[in-house]
Amino acid sequence: MQKYTHTVKYYETDRMGFTHHSNYVRWMEEARIDMMDQLGWSYKKFEDEGLISPVTSVKCRFRHTTTFPDVVNIEVLVEEFRGIKLKLKYIMTNENGDLVCEASSEHCFLDAKGNLVKIKYDYPEFYKALNDLIRKPD
């Protein structure tokens, strides 16, 4: 997977000139959508299949400030996936390679009626694509 790159916009900064913390969650979504595109499962395709994937949990740990117009590279890793709950890890670094933010998000998969979808059985190709990305222990 290619890392997602985001350039900090002026409007994403606060009065002190630092990136406002709420933007990191937006960047996580941008990176997640990019990852899905790279897998061949764009959100458009996902939604055309009648699926949605709500966020059930988000966690961020900020390590280094960013400001306008810093470039932030975001690596998305699949930490855990067993067919119902997907846990992703985001490693955000600046152009110098400094760790900016470590974050994670958890998602489930629902059909249009709000019922849980078992990806392993209902969408085996997508299940395999995600499982191939599971982060192996170091």
Domain residue limits, the chain: 4-131
The confidence score (pLDDT) of residue 136 equals 64
The confidence score (pLDDT) of residue 42 equals 92
- Residues of the chain with pLDDT > 70, as a percent, come to 97
Query: pTM for this one?
Result: 0.93
pLDDT band at residue 137, thresholds of 50, 70 and 90?
Answer: low
pLDDT tens, 52-76?
A: 999 999 999 999 999 999 999 999 9
For 97: left if phi > 0, alpha if psi spans -120 to 50, otherwise beta; the answer is left
C-alpha to C-alpha distances, 120 to 26, 29, 37, 86, 125, nearest whole angstrom: 28, 23, 19, 12, 8
- Could you tell me which CATH class the domain 4-131 is placed in? alpha beta
- Residues of the chain with pLDDT > 90, as a percent, come to 91
Q: In whole angstroms, give the CA distance from residue 39 to residue 77.
A: 13
Q: How large is the average pLDDT for residues 19-42?
A: 96
Nearest CA-CA partner of 131 in 82, 91, 92, 90: 82
Q: How large is the average pLDDT for residues 24-50?
A: 95
The confidence score (pLDDT) of residue 115 equals 96
